[in-house]
Amino acid sequence: MSYDFDLFVIGAGSGGIATARRAAEYGAKVGVAEYDRLGGTCVNRGCVPKKLMVYASHFPGQFEEAVGYGWSAVTSSFDWVTLTTSVNNEVGRLNGIYQGMLDRSKVEIFRDRASFIDTHTLQIGGKTVTADKVLIAVGGIPVKPDIPGIEHAITSDEIFTLPQQPKRMVILGGGYIACEFACILNGLGTEVVQVIRKPYILNGFDDDLRMEIQEAMQRHGVRILSETLIQSFEKTDAGLVVKVKSKSGAEEEILTDAVSLSATGRIPNLESLGLENTKVGIKDGAIAVDQHSRTADPTIYAVGDCTNRINLTPVAIAEGRAIADTEYGNKPTLMSHEDVPTAIFTTPEAGTVGLSEQEAIAKYGADGIQIFRTKFRSMYYVLPGKHDEKTLMKLVVHKENQRVLGAHMVGDYAGEIIQGIAIAVKMGATKADFDATVGIHPSSAEEFVTMR
């Protein structure tokens, strides 16, 4: 049977674009449907604009620290509109780059929503197209909890387009998105209260890492209300009143600006896809796929956040390229979801790869692992006299074969450092391999090869 396209991609985020371009390089005829800006969450409402705001939030601390190095004190003011305008201009520039890449790859772009009529047929606006294979790469969307008055709260998607900086902000949630924005806004001068249900932030990460970041955030001025639930949001003339109740039963009303950030998670963006017209299965609200990213409908694939495996941009890209290599490049490729490194761009920053201590204990038992840990003040903070700024590094080692199962860090440039450590962990390096590696002195990173 003849089709309009060899591959049609629903969603032009990082995973969808990477798959489309790779498949087109192999000679496939490829189409992409996207109703929003090119680049998906990462470019438009996530990684890129967020990281630029992280950089901006660090300058007040750097101005202060410079005095310890002989620079005169700096009196500076911050302009929210200048930052957000610059950030959004950069996002626009990247949209243009993605457009150019797709054009050069001869990928046809449909600027509308796509939905399945059947396995091989898609409705895109007023058009109908057919495809031999279809990739679903629609990403995720933020979800708001069912709380009275939640309509007055924004999500992380809207933070980049606020017309003015909130003077006070209540952030609901303890995941990495909530924590990152708590640190960003705090660094930019906003008074931040973060409300979390559990005793510590960043559930699912290594406990040492979680506690270290939480304590540092509190030292830097973020007020964290642990084991606390938001009861309601109420808009008043004075601002937004957020009513909270702690596990002990204590109640409090917090006055914040007319915005409050709900960052309680994201869900796959599956609405209006017409999946009921296919054999694609849904499990726990996400598209169910096998290790090859193939759905129950054998010619339909899915990658990225809509599958809710590991919701990271580089993972979606790798999943998509593996499909293109396998199906169109005659290069059978399987994307491994083990030992995927990630960073948390809080202040201080964190980087992690492999098993947490808790995961390692669950797999090998407490007697089956060894923990190597160090905590110190990095050289950078000596002259500014910042005794509370600490770096934490930790290795989780399998006692039987001495393989490094996990590496975790909290401190400056943790993401940059863990990227290199991740190569060693992925290759199965042992503690002896780390010990045999000569450290770069003086650096924080050398501590990973000197821990005893």
Catalytic center residues? 441
CB 405 within 8 A of CB 397: yes
User: How far apart are alpha carbons 4 and 33 in whole angstroms?
Assistant: 14
Name all contacts of 334-341 with Cβ < 8 Å and 24+ positions apart: 334/291, 334/292, 335/293, 337/309, 337/310, 339/422, 339/425, 339/426, 340/310, 340/312, 340/314, 340/315, 341/418, 341/419, 341/421, 341/422, 341/425
Tell me which residue of 73, 74, 65 sits closest to 384, measured CA to CA: 65
Neighbours of 226 (CB within 10 A): 16
Work out the end-to-end distance of the chain between its first and last CA atoms, rounded to an integer number of angstroms. Answer: 64
Tell me which residue of 100, 91, 126 sits closest to 112, measured CA to CA: 126
Beta bridge partners of 171: 194, 261
Amino acid at 279: K
User: How far apart are alpha carbons 275 and 289 in whole angstroms?
Assistant: 14
Q: What are phi and psi of 225, to 5 degrees?
A: -100, 100
Pull the structure tokens for residue 369. Answer: 């692992």
CB 43 within 8 A of CB 87: no
CB 91 within 8 A of CB 43: yes
CA dihedral 381, 387, 389, 392 (to 10 degrees): 100
Tell me which residue of 432, 434, 431 sits closest to 420, measured CA to CA: 434
Pull the structure tokens for residue 97. Answer: 């780059």
Report strand pairing: 286-287 vs 300-302: unpaired
Place of tokens 């991609």: 9
User: How far apart are alpha carbons 74 and 84 in whole angstroms?
Assistant: 23
User: How far apart are alpha carbons 83 and 410 in whole angstroms?
Assistant: 27
Give the angle subtended at the CA of 46 by the CAs of 275 and 270, to the nearest 5°: 10
